[in-house]
Chains A and B, each alone.
Chain A
């Protein structure tokens, strides 16, 4: 059976992304409304970047 550590070593990009995930949690929310508003803003920003 292949070993995951070997698989991970081969899958070198995962290593790069692991480092990317060392960052702290970007934001927490007090209410669901605040969460939805933030998610909508992010959607609009992504749309803007695309356009």
Chain B
């Protein structure tokens, strides 16, 4: 086969090297000319003579990519767009396999792409050790002092675990005696057998689906307006209608904009896309958007049965337990044994979630504190939570951080900081939340930050939304009125 016919060779989806390169350029939002120029330079480094076996040829090309003397490509998590990948010689587990895939396609070398959920590698094994240590330490302190240990003071310096069921892309090669996998993010760059690698779920993808994933990553990482983000997510779904996590992202946006139609259609599509893939990620997402606490807890238990060290699922379970505790407290009082047991159960669950966050390479302990501050303050010492929030560096203090301080301390200064951090075009949900808190604080402080005209405008704009009406009922319970 000559060079030109190799480039025109179609894969099972009818994609050629050229069409795949164009897809990747488009999905990346990159400049075609620049990408082609950089790509040609890289491609010229690959020798004409390569091993006949596709997996060995891929391993050789990968070693050239990784070799500091030639390709010099290294792993970097947030580099996803093909132009930036080629320019900086950096990429993550989506962009690097796709780049290697392009080099293989150009040479007519067959390969497959696979997407794994929650890869079970040494980091996953480490999570089991961390959880065992956490549980043992908590038990020892409970036995010695009959009290739950304090929350950690900050994140661990060396973090060895993920504590989140992330997705990972690999190249695979069918062999007469099984299958070999190749991962350009692994340092040794060597092929390994499928039997040496497992995950919660695996699905075969192709270049079009790979491009869809690149679009979803751009929607997640880049600083974009909500409209731009929605557009990218919808485009990612036009390439791959089962790109499940794009629906999860759309659900989150839909709620923040009181968009019932988008929320319901995305939730339905998320469920349909998960029919063959009910992994821990699926159960966690279902729990997040479930309206009944009991059902949400069932989902969370299923998520944790599949993945014990799922940090966010642990935190969500703790929040559900804290509500149970509050109900028991109201009914029986704090001295009742049932209340004491419920309090301890909640504290332990929060503590496990907190420690998992401190060890995680990807989750942030400070975000955990901000997200859970109000629930944490109900079951741990309120002052301790307040001080932990104050220790969070300036760079991580977002609107929600200040709103947590408003809730905990009725702080006027934080209300003003929250408004500043909210920016010029907040989602209606963010703005309504701010207005609600402003109205509450005005009553306490005798100030007039609440803007009744603005609240009325938002109210009228979203009155038809079920999502908004549900929220309004909740706000009414908290004493909210328009004026």
Interface residues of A (CB under 8 A from B): 1-32, 34-36, 39-40, 42-43
Complex Cα–Cα for A19 and B246 (A) = 9
Main secondary structure of the interface of A (DSSP, over half): helix
Contact with A along B245-287 (1 / 0, CB 8 A): 1101100110110000000000000000000000000000001
B302 within 8 A of A: no
Q: B94, B158, B319: which contacts A7 (Cβ < 8 A)?
A: B319
Known: A7-B319, A12-B400. A35 touches B167 (CB 8 A): no
B431 to chain A minimum Cβ distance, whole angstroms, is 10
> Across the interface, do B316 and A30 meet the contact criterion of CB distance under 8 Å?
no
Point out the residues of chain A lying under 8 angstroms from B430, CB to CB.
12
Q: List 4 tightest A-B contacts by C-beta distance, closest first.
A: A13-B400, A25-B166, A22-B220, A25-B168
Number of interface residues of B (CB under 8 A): 76
B467 within 8 A of A: yes
Known: A10-B433, A23-B217, A25-B162. A3 touches B467 (CB 8 A): no
Known: A12-B429, A27-B77. A1 touches B323 (CB 8 A): yes
A-B contact count (CB 8 A): 168
Q: B92, B188, B219, B256: which contacts A24 (Cβ < 8 A)?
A: B92
Interface residues of B (CB under 8 A from A): 75, 77-78, 92-94, 116, 119, 121-123, 125-126, 157-160, 162, 164, 166-169, 183, 185-188, 190, 192, 213, 216-217, 219-221, 229, 245-246, 248-249, 252-253, 255-256, 287-293, 296, 312, 316, 319-320, 323, 327, 361-362, 367, 370-371, 398-400, 403, 427, 429-430, 433, 467, 470-471, 474
Known: A3-B291, A12-B430, A39-B158. A24 touches B122 (CB 8 A): no
> Across the interface, do A35 and B288 meet the contact criterion of CB distance under 8 Å?
no
Q: Which of B123, B168, B287 has the most CB atoms of chain A within a 10 A radius of its CB?
A: B123
Known: A15-B255, A27-B185, A39-B158. A6 touches B288 (CB 8 A): no
Point out the residues of chain A lying under 8 angstroms from B164, CB to CB.
21
> Across the interface, do B217 and A24 meet the contact criterion of CB distance under 8 Å?
yes
Q: B122, B245, B319: which contacts A30 (Cβ < 8 A)?
A: B122
Known: A13-B370, A18-B252, A27-B93. A39 touches B361 (CB 8 A): yes
Complex Cα–Cα for A13 and B372 (A) = 11
Chain B residue with the shortest CB-CB distance to A37: B187
Known: A18-B252, A23-B166, A42-B361. A34 touches B220 (CB 8 A): no
Complex Cα–Cα for A40 and B160 (A) = 9
Point out the residues of chain B lying under 8 angstroms from A28, CB to CB.
93, 119, 121, 123, 168, 183, 185-186
Q: A10, A26, A43: which contacts B158 (Cβ < 8 A)?
A: A43
B125 to chain A minimum Cβ distance, whole angstroms, is 8
Complex Cα–Cα for A3 and B457 (A) = 27
Point out the residues of chain B lying under 8 angstroms from A8, CB to CB.
255, 288-289
Point out the residues of chain A lying under 8 angstroms from B192, CB to CB.
30
> Across the interface, do B77 and A26 meet the contact criterion of CB distance under 8 Å?
yes
Point out the residues of chain B lying under 8 angstroms from A4, CB to CB.
287-288, 290-291, 293, 296, 316, 319-320
Chain B residue with the shortest CB-CB distance to A35: B122
> Across the interface, do A35 and B290 meet the contact criterion of CB distance under 8 Å?
no
B154 to chain A minimum Cβ distance, whole angstroms, is 12
